[in-house]
Structure 1
Amino acid sequence: MASLEPLPSTHWVNDPKWEELLPCEEFWVSIQPLLLSRGYELRSRYHPGWTPSWLQPGGKPLHLCDDSLQIGYKMIDATRTNDSLKVVIRQVPTHTDELPLLAILSSPELQADPRNCTVPILDVIILPGNDELALIIMPMLRDFGDLPFRRVGEVVEMFEQLVHFLAFLHEQSIAHMDFCWFNIMMDGSRVVPKGWHFLSPFSHDGIPSGDFEWFDRWSVRPVKYYMIDFELSQRMNPQGNPCRFVGSWGQDRSVPEMSFTTPSDPFKVDVYQLGNVIKKLIRNYVGLDILKPLVDAMTNSDPLKRLTAEESSKQFSIFRKKCTARAMKRRIWKNEPPIPPLTSLERFLVRYLQYNPIN
């Protein structure tokens, strides 16, 4: 349960660079009143007229102040005022198909399908006088891989959700085109019931304390996984004709057929990308070889021989029926250099004494 991992601070005490807003942060300050009027409160750093709390009389050291944490340009964390729900606000370019596709995938009919792992969209905010951007509001989710898997069944249950979702997505003639590692999120509310900070995910409140509590997924299952970032996604020809596309395929640049000149099948690329996510887990953990045959078929270098999403989903279902409860409970151990693997003593503590380090 409890992890006593030290949380290294990335801050230098009294470094003046933390006192200044980045250019990308000024955008959020400019729309803070609008967001508040819609029921979303930003951290104090993004309030007009902000004064760093560590500079005020009696202020805490900089590295203990939540308002010292800076965000990137596309997303920001916030709190929904009516229920204190932690949310993420993301900029969405209006020239892409992302908003229309999210509207389709968020329709009551498609939301009723249990295979749908599209990130929930809580709200959409149109910016006055800005035709280039809109804002979507999502629940604050957690990167699926930043806490270790502890049992075979934890990975199998994630794979199950994602492979069926990919088949569901392709049934709607939608190719995600970036079905990759950093776009897969999990609902961490069961795993980290005390919550975490958006910019300091191994602390509960953004303040380094060295006492971060979390539970392995098997003990709190089911854990729900979601897919985010549909910026590259497209709805292809739904008439059953072969689909071809030329262009970039997001994070995973190892796609064998990726080309800026020769058209390729975006649906087969999606399958390869998901297969590669699971292949990386197989490399990084000891004990996941039972997934290798299906993953190899999903990542065949020849797209004509590669499984479709529907075939992958069906083959997974066959595989899943053969999995015994004992096999699902089997322990797996992270082995991802340069992170040192757990020692024999640490593995004993994990098994029997609820020791839960973040590696």
Structure 2
Amino acid sequence: MNNNPPIPEDRGEHEMFWVSLQPHLLSHGYKLRPRYDPEWIPSWTKPGGKHRGFYEDSLRGGAKLLDGIRISDNMKVVFKPVPTSSDELALATLLSSPKARADSRNCAVPVLDVVDIPGNDERVLMVMPMLKQIFNVPFRRVGEVVEMVEQFLYCLQFLHENNIVHMDFCRYNLMMDGSRIIPKGWHFCDAYSHDGVSFASAFEWNDRWSVRPIQYYLIDFGLSRQLQDASTRVVGDWGQDRTVPEMSFEVPADPFKVDVYQLGNAIKKYVAAYTGLRILDPLIENMTASDPVKRFTADEAVRYFQERKAKWSKRAMKSRIWKTGTPFKRRFMVKYRGERSILT
């Protein structure tokens, strides 16, 4: 007799991993979306059903990550399967320890829970808060970007003090707590919808400046490691950013300087996407120097940033910035008419 849940026509085989875990997660206090209920019937197939686009349960999840709800407090969370023997699990839980979290510079994503996978001794599920991609919400003022840069610089310094190298300190691993910016929340599968079916035009959000401070987070420690010796060198390719000058499979490189370059280059991309952020150029240049010897260390980057920030006025921090190419009419509508387009 086959006890596996049926696979509706719309539900992919990779999703069935989550369907099989749904009862187990429920017993641990976590609820998945209706789509992952073993008894799920697609809403659009029921009598009187409309086009599938009108229904939240039409949105597919991924094999590597899935969202859910912590039942005790209705908190949105994300589940990530990781090998039990991985450095990722060890480092992520280490950085979530009370001692590590006591350091305000530590902005590594907290691991809320680790849930076993029945019948699988090789993998577990890390449970983390559901965070927002930084670039999903536009920056409006210089100070908003400065706040983000400051937190990631301090986090980099904290990691390096503990001989931890991230090795993928890049754009898609830089996240934020979006709860103040988007009080109504957002759907895991649709960054510009509260519920997965409403349109971006109905999306309500606040400027970062009006609800500051915003907490930023570093995620994905899949390539990270804690080194025994700060003089350790590595070979290979690392993470999303393949422009690291010293990246090589033959010549060993300083992984600490790789981290600095990756973060500097991530900041550079944000600066390039907006007008009005030239004050960060000197920091970026020193963090992305092609010669690793001449490149800042994390400590030097923090010290340089602190010295520069002390000279920046409150007026400079409140200065408006705009996505490169934003037409004058749109700027006028945002600044003087209160237009709220999430895409501008």
> Do structure 1's residue 40 and structure 2's residue 30 form an aligned pair?
yes
SS at match of 2:235: coil
Q: Which moved more, 1:101-110 or 1:262-271?
A: 101-110
For 2:152 and 2:108, the matched residues in 1 are separated by 10
> Do structure 1's residue 181 and structure 2's residue 171 form an aligned pair?
yes
When the two structures are superposed, what TM-score results if normalisation uses the length of structure 2? 0.95
Opposite residue 213 of structure 2, the aligned amino acid is: P
When the two chains are superposed, the root-mean-square deviation of aligned CA atoms in Å is 1.4
SS at match of 2:57: helix
Query: 8 Å contact 2:95–2:110 — kept in the other structure?
Result: no
SS at match of 1:262: strand
Kindly state the Cα deviation for residue 245 of structure 1 after the two structures are TM-superposed: 0.7
> Do structure 1's residue 217 and structure 2's residue 208 form an aligned pair?
yes
> Do structure 1's residue 342 and structure 2's residue 334 form an aligned pair?
no
Query: 8 Å contact 2:81–2:126 — kept in the other structure?
Result: yes
Greater RCO structure (CA 8 Å; 6+ sep): 1
Alignment match, 2:299? 310
CA-to-aligned-CA distance 1:192-250 (integer Å, 9 cap, x gap): 11111010110110013331111111111000000000010000124x4x120112211
Query: 8 Å contact 2:261–2:288 — kept in the other structure?
Result: yes
For 2:240 and 2:122, the matched residues in 1 are separated by 24
How many residues were matched structurally? 336
When the two structures are superposed, what TM-score results if normalisation uses the length of structure 1? 0.91
1:119 to 109, 114, 120: 109
Q: How does 1:1-359 map to 2 (within 5 A)?
A: 19-209=9-199, 210-238=201-229, 240=230, 242-335=231-324, 341-357=325-341, 358-359=343-344
Q: Which moved more, 1:119-128 or 1:31-40?
A: 119-128
Q: Which moved more, 1:18-27 or 1:48-57?
A: 18-27
For 1:96 and 1:260, the matched residues in 2 are separated by 22
Query: 8 Å contact 1:18–1:68 — kept in the other structure?
Result: no
% same residue: 56
For 1:60 and 1:120, the matched residues in 2 are separated by 40
For 1:326 and 1:20, the matched residues in 2 are separated by 54
Opposite residue 258 of structure 2, the aligned amino acid is: V
Where in structure 1 are there 5+ consecutive unaligned residues?
Answer: 1-16, 336-340
Alignment match, 1:11? none
SS at match of 1:116: coil
Query: 8 Å contact 1:96–1:232 — kept in the other structure?
Result: no
SS at match of 2:50: coil
Kindly state the Cα deviation for residue 180 of structure 1 after the two structures are TM-superposed: 0.4
CA-to-aligned-CA distance 1:281-319 (integer Å, 9 cap, x gap): 121111111100011000000111101011111111111
SS at match of 2:284: helix
Kindly state the Cα deviation for residue 83 of structure 1 after the two structures are TM-superposed: 1.6
SS at match of 1:219: helix
Query: 8 Å contact 2:186–2:193 — kept in the other structure?
Result: yes
Q: Which moved more, 1:273-282 or 1:203-212?
A: 203-212
Kindly state the Cα deviation for residue 18 of structure 1 after the two structures are TM-superposed: 8.8
Opposite residue 273 of structure 2, the aligned amino acid is: N
For 1:354 and 1:292, the matched residues in 2 are separated by 30
CA-to-aligned-CA distance 1:148-185 (integer Å, 9 cap, x gap): 11111110000000001100010010000000000011
